[in-house]
Amino acid sequence: MLTMFKQIFTWWNHQTLGTRIYTFIFGKFKGKDYFGNKYYQSKSGKRWVIYNGEVDSSKIPNEWFSWIHFMKNKIENTQQLNKFEWQKKNIPNQTGTPKAFHPNKDNENDYKKYKSWKE
């Protein structure tokens, strides 16, 4: 019951009720990535993604980024896409988490590049 209320009134948790109905009526399933996101396309050409878990646009891998943005280098069948050893897996945006980038995170002394004129 609570998930139904979330789908009706919030868009930031998962797909809304309207998106679920639109996907059921007009959406044609195109594929799924390793995050579990599902990609759909309508007959008119509109494309959208149903996120698995938290809605975060940085969770779209490179293989699907070009497809969702109508770029020329389209990859229709991503299940047979070969990846090289040196290619890293896509990770979501880490801002606001302990894994976020900070230039002096591993360094013990947190020095500043400037000195305050008031000491």
Tens digits of residue pLDDT in 54-80: 777 888 887 788 888 888 655 555 555
Does residue 103 surpass a pLDDT of 80?
no
Secondary structure of 45-78 in HEC code, one letter for each residue: CCEEEECCCCCCHHHCCHHHHHHHCCCCCCCCCH
Picking from 57, 58, 38, 56, the residue whose alpha carbon sits closest to that of residue 47 is 38
33 has pLDDT over 80: yes
Give the mean pLDDT of 101-111: 66
Q: What percent of the chain has pLDDT over 70?
A: 69
Tokens encoding 39 = 């990609």
Residues in the chain: 119
Q: Which of 96, 88, 42 is nearest to 61 (CA)?
A: 88
Question: Is the CB of residue 40 less than 8 Å from the CB of residue 30?
Answer: yes
Q: Which residue has the tokens 């900070």?
A: 102
